[in-house]
Structure 1
Amino acid sequence: MSPSRTCSWLIVLSVLLVCTTANGDRLKVGYYDKTCPDVQQIVQSVMAFRVGRDQSVAPAVLRLFFHDCFVDGCDGSVLLDETPFFESEKDATPNANSLHGFDVIDEIKSYVEHACPATVSCADILALASRDAVALLGGPSWKVQLGRKDSRVANRTGAEYGLPAPNSTLAELINLFKQYDLDARDMAALSGAHTIGTARCHHYRDRVYGYNGEGGADIDPSFAELRRQTCQSAYDAPAPFDEQTPMRFDNAYYRDLVGRRGLLTSDQALYGYGGPLDHLVKMYSTNGEAFAKDFAKAIVKMGKIPPPHGMQGEIRLSCSKINR
C-alpha cells in the first residue's frame, strides 16, 4: 500500500473514531483545568448559597441529573424548553410539575459563562452541581469526570417511558438499569438518593392504600396509616422519603426499607424478596460508609451513560435553549 493511501486510511479511521466516541468514553477529571480552572469553585459556591437558603434545592438538582442521564445519556436534554421542532422533556408525565432546580442550573451557568464564555457544557454543570448537592447534605463527594456535550434536541418520548416509575417492580428496575450497564448493586446504591427529598401523594397512594384501603403485607401498618393521613390533606400532598432525617444524605432510607416503611412501591421493591439484594440493603442499613462508597462509585458510572450514537453536541450558551 502506498504512503498516500495509508495516510488516507488513517485519516478516515481518525474521523470514524471521533464520530463514534461517545460522551462517556472521553470524560476525564480535570477536563477544564486549563480552559476554565474556576468552574468547580463557581458551582460549589452557588450551590452552597442556594442550599443554605433552601435545602430542598439539593434533592431537586440531584433528581435533575438522574432524569437527564436516563434519557439519551447525560447530555443536558432535560434542561431544554420546548421549541417548534421538539417537545420538552420537562413536560413528560414523570417530570411535569415535579422537576425543580432549573433556575439553580441557569444561575450557575450565568456565572460560568462570565468566567469562561462558551467553554463549559450545561451537562457538566449539572453533574458538578449534583455532586455538591449530595456533599452539602452530609453525603459523600467524588471526583466528577467532565467533558460532556449538550444535546441539541430533547426526547419527550424517552422521558415518558425510559425513567423508573413509582410503581416499578424489582424485575422492571433491574432491566431498566441493565440497559445502561448498571448492575443490581449500582441500582440499590443509586436508589439511596431517596434518602433526601419528597414524593407527592399520587406517587405513593397505591402503596399506602393497597387493594383493601389499608396497604399490603409489605408495608408497616402504622406507616401506611400515617401516609394515608397525609394523602387526605391533598391529592398532591408531599411526604418525605426518609421521615427521620429527610434532608440529610445518610443510610436511613435503607433502615426504612428493612422496616417495611419505603415510601414508593419501587423503593420497597429492593427489599423483601430474599437473596443478595436483601443482604445488600441490610448491609447499607447498618453501614453508612459502605453505602456512601457504593453510591459515589455508582453515580460516577451513571454519569458516563453516553448519548445516542452520532449525536451532535454543543456547548450551550443558555441551558434552556440550543445555540442558533
Structure 2
Amino acid sequence: MKNLLISSIGLTFIAFTALTSVTVSAADDKYADVKIATQALSGSVYMLTGAGGNIGVSAGEEGILIIDDQFAPLAEKISAAIGEIAKQPMKYVINTHYHGDHTGSNAYFKEVHDSTIFAHDNVRKRLESSSDHVHAALPVVTYEQGLTFHFNDDTIRVMYLPAGHTDSDSVVWFEKANVLHAGDLFFQGRFPYIDLAGGGTVEGYIANAAKLIDMLNDETKIIPGHGDLATKQDYQAALDMMQQTAKYVADKKSAGVSLTTLIDQGLDDKWQDWAWNFITEEKWITTLYTDQ
C-alpha cells in the first residue's frame, strides 16, 4: 500500500514524509498495536474506530468523504482501512472540532490524497494559532454556520453548534442513511470532556445535546466522538446524567460547599460507571463546579 502511494504521488509524498518523520517516529511505539476497525452502518456510511475520535465515512461511486481522522501516526492505517471499503478517490475531510485526536491526520490526507478539508472557522483559527502547526493540516474551506454536501446518494448536512465541547464544534447528519456523527458533543457512556479553555461550556454542551436529540428518531444510528455506536436512548441517558450531575453540583456550590469538599463527597454511586481514565469523577465535578 505504501509503495503504491509513493509511486503515485512521487515527490509530494517524499516531502510530506520528511516533514512528519520525526513526529511519527516518536509515536511509532505508542500506536504500533492500534488496529482500525470498520463497521458498516447504513447506506454509504461506515464508522471506523482506532485511537482518538471515531471516524465517519461516506464511500460510494462519487468518492470518499471522511469525518475526523484521529492521530497523525495512524494516517496510513486509516487510509488502508478506507481502501478496503472502496477503491474511490478520497475527496473530502470534515473536522468536527480542532482537537488533535480528530485532526491529526489532516496533513496526510491533504498531501497524499489531495483531499479538501472542511471545518468551522474556529477550527482553522485554533489550529493556526499553534506555533508548531503544519500548514497542510489547516482546513481549506471554512464556514460560519454550516454547509451541505449532496454526495453518494445522500444529503449530508454539516451544522455548527456553539460553545459546547469547544467553540468550534460541528455535527454531521446523513439524512437518507439516518446517521448522526456527533463529534465530541457525545461521549457514549462516559463523562464528557468539556474544553473550557477552548470555548466550551457546560450549559452550551447540555443545550446542544438536547437540540440534537430532538432531531433523532429511535432508528437513528449515532457515531459518538468516543465510545461505541449509539442510539437516541443512549444519548438521552448521557443528557440525563449531565443535567442531574450539573444540578447537584450547582446546588452544593450555592449552599457554600467548597470544590475540595465536594470532590471528597463525590457524586451518587449510580454515576460511578461513567468515570474513565481521562475524565474521572474528580475532573467531571471540577468542570461542573468551575463553569457554574
Q: TM > 0.5 between the two?
A: no
The answer to which structure has the higher helix fraction is 1
Larger Rg: 1
* TM-score, normalization by structure 1: 0.26
